[in-house]
Structure 1
Amino acid sequence: MQKAMIPKRSVSILGYGSYIPKYRIKAKEIDRIWNKGVIVEDAKSYPPVQEKAVGNQDEDAITIGCEATRRAMKSAGIDPSKIRAIFLGSESNPYAVKTAGVTIAEAIGASSDLLGATYEFACKAATEGMQTLMGLIGSNMIDYGIAIGADTAQARPADVLEYTAASGGTALVLGPNSEDAVAQIEASYSYSEDTPDFWRREGRPYPRHYERFTGEPAYFKFVLSAAKTLMSEVGYEPDDLAYVVLHQPNYKFPYKAAKKLGFNDEQITPGLLCNEIGNLYAGSTLTGIAGALDEAEPHDKILAVSYGSGSGSDAFILNVEEDITKKRDRTPKVRDLIDNRKEYIDYSLYSKMREKIKR
């Protein structure tokens, strides 16, 4: 039985764009408040990332999604009226009842002939949107759609997640394979089981998690299973792939998982961004894909694997096309967004921006 999902009509990424807020907070600043710098000074328990991106009070999953989508549309060069579906994947949709997809559609000037939805599956919500578009486009039901991953992630004060829970996102414009394609989606595969390693109940401001059990029984099991199965299905070895992008809850997990799969640092580094921007949650894997596309050359292959707590992983094989060399210069590259316009803030301003202080 074939496990890989391969569309009948070839589906490609036609454009991509990212948005990362300019504000940053360093791990040592969080340590200064809660641990008096002890963790940063202890190499054995070094913080999971060096710094992270922080959304301001007027930034949420929708505004981040809008900025990323505008850039993706500029990259793709497609008339907004041709977009027939927009899916936003997020853990932090500002509305409990109201889809965000149609709000973004309105912002970019899409027509009313549109399927819009907000997706949930923790940090793999955006890749679910990609797979839905693969089905719609691959079956000739629509021609163009947008998958977005955007979050302003929450973390309880003093929790280890406070080091990593960040803000940012990426949008991908998908359509039928053509000479304008950035990367063809060769195949996809999903692996899912009930593994409650991380959750947030309705009405609760912050998530809970099972500490170290988020690793081996959860992240590593699902990411490695999805990656190995898809690579086996399409007959690829690590040497056949130029880049690997894995979901990035911290720096250690994806690096360790990629090494277990047999990848080297040159294949891992371009898409491993969390040490400088934190965990973008539903935006993590798509932003990693964008980072890899910024460096890739035509005919390169990329393995991308998301992970969503609860739990599941979606894996993709992307074949980079000729048009990548033209389209990636139309909008800011991920590295530019990381390095330029950075403004560091202290914990008090961070608490205000992320509304940790209630009035």
Structure 2
Amino acid sequence: MVGIITYGAQIPRYRITIEEIAKVWGDNPKEISGGLGVREKSLPDMDEDTATIAVEATRNALIRRNVDRDAIGAIYVGSESHPYAVKPTSATVGEAIGATPVMTAADYEFACKAGTAAVQTCMGLVGSGMVRYGIAVGADVAQGAPGDALEYTAAAGGCAMILGTEDPIAEINHTCSFTTDTPDFWRREGQPYPRHGGRFTGDPGYFKHIMGAAKMMFEHRGTSPADYDYAIFHQPNAKFPQRVAGMLGFTGEQIKPGLVVPRLGNTYSGASMIGLAATLDVAEPGDRIFVTSFGSGAGSDAFDITVTDRITDESVFARSAAPTVEELLANPIYVDYARYAKHKGKIMVQK
């Protein structure tokens, strides 16, 4: 059985509140925060980008479990904010952790589900026996144009999952996907910020695809929401995942551990994976987890996961050795809009 043998997350300490952004654009902060269910969002430091976040997330995964670097046969990094248009982030991750040369490495793009697409690819390679271990990363320094609705939620963070068959802490029982050509969100080459279809992002974007993938999983596995202890859905804001959970029949308690967006914002390719990491931080052996990502353009990947007793076996996996998602969210450093704009490259110093 292919499964997650270790995982790690990375979230920058810097934050900006919804009130601070709203103050600049003359919006009502209570209305914005209430409508999105988001209080603040993370932003990168001046020397942080998708590559550094992906490296740190992977290092945190390796802190929890000593994985033979020579046995890592695949590295895939999903993001829509790769530092280079032509140069792989995945190769940088491999070099930084001492895993090069690996058998295969590539960068993925599929809006916010590029990270879970990387997980599926690693599952196939590991399951076929082509590689012993595969690393899947979802990381982003998400973009939002000044004054655009996206600016209130576009955040920074990432998560790395290492896949293998030897003593997994969480077995991936099944995965399936639901994809259509629905252009609700896009960014052309050379454009600094994405554009979106406004209300069409919700439906026929987010809800149609998550519902499609989730119902497909129920059909494939013969399950219902009552069969799962936890559920994670892509979280562009706090309202969408809570609404789709209710539509499918999941409870607020099932999604609570993984719903980190109110204090984090939308980390795009990292969002559903960080939610899964937060859930694994508190999960116990035997717990069953339902995950469905979403990427504009548009598609969703669903996963049925069972936590094994290895998650509490310190001889195999040291969960407390790396910071939990809750610990990464703690002790934030708040900035004003000017410093936020500088960190995000919205204003540049001419030299």
Q: Same fold (TM over 0.5)?
A: yes
Q: CA shift at 1:48, angstroms?
A: 4.5
The offset of 1:89, in angstroms, is 0.2
Q: Please, which of 152, 170, 182 is the counterpart of residue 183 of structure 1? A: 170
> Which secondary structure does the structure 1 equivalent of 2:180 belong to?
strand
Q: Tell me the amino acid that sits aligned with residue 27 of structure 1.
A: I
- 2:346 equivalent in structure 1: 356
1:226-265 counterparts in 2 under 5 A?
A: 226-265=213-252
Q: For residues 170-209 of structure 1, give each alpha carbon's deviation from its aligned partner in whole angstroms, at most 9, with x where no partner exists.
A: 0001001x3x321001000010000000000110000000
Aligned to 1:165: 154
CA distance in 2, matches of 1:58, 1:262: 43
Q: What corresponds to 1:147 in structure 2?
A: 136
Indicate conservation of the 8 Å contact 2:18/2:33, yes or no. no
Normalised to the residue count of structure 2, the TM-score between the two structures is 0.96
2:18 maps to which residue? Answer: 27
Aligned equivalent of 1:7: none
d(CA) in 1 for partners of 2:270 and 2:33? 29
On the 8 A contact 1:19/1:169 being kept in 2, the answer is yes
**3-state secondary structure, aligned to 2:262:** helix
Runs of at least 4 residues of structure 1 off by over 4 A? Answer: none
1:40 and 2:29 aligned: yes
Q: Secondary structure at the match of 2:250?
A: coil
Matched ranges for 1:78-89 at <5 A: 78-89=67-78
**Aligned residue type for 1:23:** Y
Task: Give the match for residue 124 of structure 1.
Answer: 113
Question: CA shift at 1:20, angstroms?
Answer: 0.2
Q: Percent identity?
A: 49
Unaligned runs of 5+ in 1: 1-9
Unaligned runs of 5+ in 2: none
2:204 counterpart of 1:217: yes
Q: What residue is the counterpart of 1:51 in the other structure? A: 40
RMSD of aligned residue pairs (Cα, Å): 1.3
Matches within 5 A, 1:131-142: 131-142=120-131
Shift of 1:44: 9.4
SS of corresponding position for 2:271: helix
Deviation at 1:114, TM superposition (A): 2.5
Q: Does 1:62 align with 2:85?
A: no
* Distance (whole Å) between structure 2 residues aligned to residue 194 and residue 146 of structure 1: 28
The code of the aligned residue for 1:256 comes to R
Q: CA deviation at 1:47?
A: 4.2
| Number of equivalences | 345
1-structure distance, mates of 2:164, 2:33: 46
Q: CA deviation at 1:299?
A: 0.7
The amino acid that maps onto 2:260 is: L
Which moved further from structure 2: 58-67 or 111-120?
Answer: 111-120
Tell me the TM-score normalised to structure 1 length.
0.94
The residue type equivalent to 1:131 in the other structure is Q
Q: Find the residue that maps to 1:25 and give its secondary structure.
A: strand
1:271 aligns with 2:261: no
Name the aligned partner's letter for residue 357 of structure 1: I
2: CA distance, partners of 1:48 / 1:299: 31
